[in-house]
Amino acid sequence: MSTVSSEIISQIEQLNREYISALDSLDMTAWLNCFNKKGQYNFISEENHRRNLPIAFMLDDCYKRLQDRVTQVVDIQADSTEHYQTRHFTQLMSVEALDNGQYQAEFNYSIYYTRRDSNQTQILCVGRYMDVIEIAENAVNFIKRKAVTDTNVLPRYIAYPV
Amino acid sequence: MAHTTSQDPLLTWPKKYNEIPKAVFEMEELWPKELETIFYGEEWHPIVHRAEIPNPGDYKAAELGEMPIFAVHGEDGVIRVFQNTCTHRGTSLITESSGNKKELECPYHRWLFNLQGDLVGCPNSRDYSPSFDKKDFGLAKLRVEEFCGLFFVTMSDKTPPLKEYLGESFYEPLSRVLGGDGRLKLIGYQKVMYDCNWKAYCDNDGYHAPLLHKAFALLNWQGGKGVQNVSENGHLSFESELKIPDDITALEDGSILDFKGTETSTGSIVQMQFPVTVYSKHMDMLNIRYAFPKGPKGIEVHYAYFSHEDDDEEMVAHRIRQSSNLLGPCGLISMEDASVFSRIDKGNKTPGNAIFQKGVEDEHVLSFTVKQNDESGNLPRWEHYRKRMGFERSES
Ligand code: FES
Ligand SMILES: [Fe+2]
């Protein structure tokens, strides 16, 4: 972490804040904007990740898939989801510089959800984000966000990315 | 609390075959009886595919009803299923969902079992009770049968042989879900808890698919020709052609829906094996849904996905991508089912019966002729359940 400037760290933390506030306000366009055209998103159980089993809960391996994730949430499944309010809490654990203005970062996360029908709050999942971030002239974006969840058995179906 | 005798049934069943008492989803008192007559009774339950534990020493933990069990691949290549309990005083032996062990050692008093389940070591056995004999203390083994690499267990000696129990109209399509010849490779799991009674989870029907799942309409995805086969002991098998439009305008990346197909494929197979297992093959996804009811409320579902040993790299990558995004608890064509499971459960906390309509030609006759998009295919399963539970039909 020592080789990465505090300015870079704060840019990475800002990108992460934009990401989680997009999800907590269910603004899928803002979520998509956190990625650039190389962007990939993956939400996978810790069990599969550890055992090298590639099946994920969500696997968006190109920008078009990210766009289709937005379509799925906003258009295709909007009316069948019992809506829940999420709240993401994250903590930056490490940043390392790679080549070409790219950085590898890791955040811990815990996500609470509150059901609109019961108003009860429960844990949705807990885990870590394993990220690759690209910092270009005027843009800070994920080119990869992999959410590895320790919660190997999800407590419910999950309608939105985490 | 109600107690069970034949004079005092927990529940009386409606006269008409298309009516199900809503209380059946809600009455907690049913669970002990369901354990006894169904989960520990004369039914087969799939536990593991060889592809999940391909090497000697590989094991996988599971549950049958409330009983912890595990499957292990022996040194001799044989897969056995044991109760997950030390034969000394009951400490559980397996504590992880899967892994690999050379032998099975109980930490408490260090009894040692080999992978075949024999007791091979027990410290200070000179001081044991006079009748003690090592040979009597091997791990408790369950009756097992295999089909296309999938291992099933039953608690009863009376359960008919597996193929007879499933029937040809069920096991033939199942062989195609299992890759035709069972030569599968595990590519991973999706695990989730659904907030409903186990019977709500497996009451999904042929009527809802084009209506609930908006993706079908948005993608202009027309169901092709199809059939439903039902059996008297409650198994249900759907098979249909898939006609995916060449041009999917609703998605930027239509390749997720590609059907690369193999010689053994129809587009879509969905099978529900009594009591709680679903198998499916949509496009290039090969999926077993192991399900574990957690008492009367809640069911834990493990979606296991496979590729075939003969797949090239591109096909494996395609299967991974498709399986991760289309089925399961977050899937494009399936998430709505999960939502309905918990809503059925909520809505059925109301009096009266749930009444099936689509495909019911005569309410007083149980029909085994079911069209592709009928919901009446679930009624033989309910009849099988009613009989297993010993509920009488009311006279009027
Ligand atoms: S309980 Fe296992 S050795 Fe005693
Ligand atoms: Fe469905």
Print the domain residue range for A142: 6-149
Considering the domain architecture, whether residues B97 and B242 belong to the same structural domain is answered as no
Considering the domain architecture, whether residues B367 and B246 belong to the same structural domain is answered as yes
Q: For residue A162, tell me if it sits in a domain.
A: no
Considering the domain architecture, whether residues B250 and B206 belong to the same structural domain is answered as yes
In this prediction, residue B314 carries a pLDDT of 96
Total tally of structural domains belonging to chain A: 1
Print the domain residue range for B266: 10-39+185-389
Per-residue pLDDT reduced to its tens digit, B176-213: 999 999 999 999 999 999 999 999 999 988 899 888 88
Of B186, B252, B320, which is closest to A64 when you measure between CB atoms? B252
* DSSP element (H, E) containing B380: helix B379-389
B329–A contact, CB cutoff 8 A: yes
pLDDT mean over B144-160: 98
For atom 3 of ligand 1, the residue with the nearest CA is B109
* Site of tokens 């810790």: A46
| Token couple for B336 | 């709505």
ipTM of the complex: 0.96
Of B186, B191, B253, which is closest to A153 when you measure between CB atoms? B191
CA distance B45 to B42: 10
CATH number at residue B232: 3.90.380.10
- Of all residues in chain A, what percent carry a pLDDT higher than 90? 88
Considering the domain architecture, whether residues B366 and B235 belong to the same structural domain is answered as yes
Q: Which atom of ligand 1 is nearest to the CA of B110?
A: 3
CATH number at residue B81: 2.102.10.10
For A50-88, b where at least 16 C-beta lie within 10 A, e where not — what string? eeebbbbbbbbbbbbbbbbbebbbeebbeebbbebebeb
Asked if the model's pLDDT at residue A1 lies above 60, the reply is: no
Asked if the model's pLDDT at residue B6 lies above 60, the reply is: no
| Stated pTM of the model | 0.96
Which CA distances in Å does B34 have to B236, B281, B387? 20, 29, 11
Per-residue pLDDT reduced to its tens digit, A33-72: 999 999 999 999 999 999 999 999 999 999 999 999 999 9
Which of B155, B154, B170 is CA-nearest to residue B235?
B170
pLDDT mean over A121-138: 96
> How many CB pairs below 8 A link A and B?
115
In this prediction, residue B8 carries a pLDDT of 57
In this prediction, residue B263 carries a pLDDT of 60
Considering the domain architecture, whether residues B256 and B302 belong to the same structural domain is answered as yes
pLDDT mean over A93-117: 95
Chain A residues close to B214, C-beta within 8 Å? 76-77, 79-80
In this prediction, residue B245 carries a pLDDT of 78
CATH number at residue A140: 3.10.450.50
Of A45, A65, A156, which is closest to B193 when you measure between CB atoms? A156
Which of B82, B87, B95, B109 has most ligand 1 atoms within 8 Å of its beta carbon, as the pocket-test mutant?
B109
Q: Do B324 and A57 touch (CB under 8 A)?
A: yes
Per-residue pLDDT reduced to its tens digit, B44-80: 999 999 999 999 999 999 999 999 999 999 999 999 9
B265–A contact, CB cutoff 8 A: no
- Give A35's DSSP letter: B
Residue B128 Cβ inside 6 Å of ligand 1? The answer reads: no
| Token couple for B148 | 């296309």
Which of A93, A95, A91, A90 is CA-nearest to residue A6?
A95
Residue B214 Cβ inside 6 Å of ligand 1? The answer reads: no
* Average pLDDT of every residue of chain B: 93
Q: For residue A157, tell me if it sits in a domain.
A: no
Total tally of structural domains belonging to chain B: 2
Amino acid at B5: T
Q: State the pLDDT confidence band at B244, using cuts at 50, 70 and 90.
A: confident
Q: For residue B295, tell me if it sits in a domain.
A: yes
Q: Do A80 and B339 touch (CB under 8 A)?
A: yes
pLDDT mean over B97-104: 97
Q: How far is CA B252 from the centre of its chain?
A: 34
CA of B295 to the centre of ligand 1 (A): 28
Q: For residue B162, tell me if it sits in a domain.
A: no
Q: For residue B294, tell me if it sits in a domain.
A: yes
Considering the domain architecture, whether residues B139 and B221 belong to the same structural domain is answered as no
For atom 4 of ligand 1, the residue with the nearest CA is B109
